[in-house]
Structure 1
């Protein structure tokens, strides 16, 4: 019984880390940018995080080298952790971390548009199409706010719109990298025997190292390192950097990977709904940026769109199936004569046990 309680507690803690820590990284990037140039920030963050994660993997005895896996990890890391994160970091020089978090949540739009093998399924689903329309509406609202705000100088407005366009390109890069990883992994699993592929932690370490090297090269070419003086960095900004490395890149990611192993992926994906809310709250309480009504409405619309675009996945989720099963059983109890209720419960328990066995077999196959 104690073991079960510990397991539930661990799951709750892991969810809190993924929900709150990942949501807060947008805010801490903005804080760190007070002292760190954008590409120096990315360079230091991912070089340290990648080195630490690689060292951890080596201590655990994981296999570190596999040419084909490293090649894939380098490509995916370049798109996911360099292109997307560079867009996020660069954009936060000009727009608030709250707006950045909302636009990042709208990444689901590009998954629907760019996932060609699933076009037939996606574009024949009414909830998905509605979600797509809602998503675009939410994003357009955020752009419209920047265009129509008369109190902001024209030059600043133009820079803000450019930052939002750059960020949108970054989310497209994230989507392409994710889809490549998804389909490449499927084709590899058909060709390779089980156990030959690198551990997911090792692959991520290579992705972080790749991003760190890419950020470092750009920072050197742009002259950011030559003009960067570490002695002028405020203590609070070093704290933000340490938080991004240890909490954002190491702890939150490890919690996310662990949750994917013990909970359904559709349930774990709910972090996408919580992260922008956390980011907006931090912006409201701890920065000078104003969280406008239009931003809150835009966030609401984007989150509804994400829900609709994932509706087909959520409705088939085990948790939702269990809830529907309980509702049917409750209705059946009310309809049945009292003498038949014990038999209904007995049958329901048997079916539940059979369902658990089937789920375990499915998990073992996966």
Structure 2
């Protein structure tokens, strides 16, 4: 998934970092994560089982990243505590195994553009989790949440206008809730302070969980390496190098160094990239309902993020 988004967490914990580095990382997340929906669709269309395919994506990226960090800084850089390992495991399972894995399973029938538009609702789920934790959002935030979920409802209905099956749409929604949950609570889990090391272990744990889930789903029996065409291998390679190694590492860097309201803006850009590429390369059918539902979600997310970026008025001011 990209995917993905702790999009409306409070503006805390941002570190001093180069503006050029932050915007470069954000540009990577904007474009590359938007394109991963297309890559995932090509992978599953090439008869690569979704969980095993995504497991190979993240595990390979983790091994490569571990080698790069070790050659650059030595193996000691990879040492983490038991608490950090547990935190990375929880985030990896929620974001990658359930979140990204859910997207991959759903995209067997859900067009990549429609999947990206549904994933754009993640900031709305994060807001509901915050409310469950006792926070009191502004009225504008609530308005954005209501508008956003109205867009989700439109997209869920519009699935009948495409090849999307209701079960696949449901799996995708559950995946977005899982991603939102992991993103919401990740700052409290004691992750490794080095964002690249955190990304490495999240991918390692998440990929391992995907293998287990793939075995439970019976995917090894459906894996036929000889039947996979060249496009499937190319798409999987793209997901490994760009979607995981580059973009997920960039996302981890942003979480450690940039305001969350800035990071959250990728929720506006990814769906547009995904819909455009799906239509351009895979000739995916774009209906009026999909465009309307997607636009409504983006408006809702924009209201939520803009409301949360405004400082609250203090007493006596």
Partner of 2:64: 52
Aligned partners of 2:120 and 2:21: how far apart in 1?
26
Deviates more, 1:40-49 or 1:89-98: 40-49
CA 1:283 to 1:77, structure 2 compared with 1: closer, same or farther past 3 Å?
A: same
Aligned partners of 2:179 and 2:215: how far apart in 1?
24
Aligned length: 291
TM-score, normalization: structure 1? 0.73
Partner of 1:194: none
1:74 is paired with a residue whose SS is helix
Partner of 2:188: 183
CA 1:315 to 1:180, structure 2 compared with 1: closer, same or farther past 3 Å?
A: closer
Matched, 1:74 2:89: yes
TM-score, normalization: structure 2? 0.84
State the Cα distance separating 1:284 from its structure 2 match.
1.3
Please show how residues 210-225 of structure 1 align to structure 2 within 5 Å: 210-225=205-220
- Alpha-carbon RMSD: 2.3
State the Cα distance separating 1:262 from its structure 2 match.
5.6
Partner of 2:10: none
34, 42, 49: which one pairs with 1:37? Answer: 49
Structure 1 unmatched ranges of 5 or more? 1-6, 189-196, 318-366
State the Cα distance separating 1:67 from its structure 2 match.
0.6
State the Cα distance separating 1:209 from its structure 2 match.
0.9
Q: In the TM superposition, what whole-angstrom CA distance separates every residue of 1:143-165 from its partner, at most 9, and x where no partner exists?
A: 22235x4xx7xxx6xx6111111
Aligned partners of 2:70 and 2:221: how far apart in 1?
33
Partner of 1:167: 172
1:33 is paired with a residue whose SS is helix
142, 146, 151: which one pairs with 2:159? Answer: 146
State the Cα distance separating 1:10 from its structure 2 match.
5.3
CA 1:300 to 1:235, structure 2 compared with 1: closer, same or farther past 3 Å?
A: same
Structure 2 unmatched ranges of 5 or more? 1-17, 313-317
Whose helix fraction is larger, Structure 1's or Structure 2's? Answer: 1
Partner of 2:249: 254
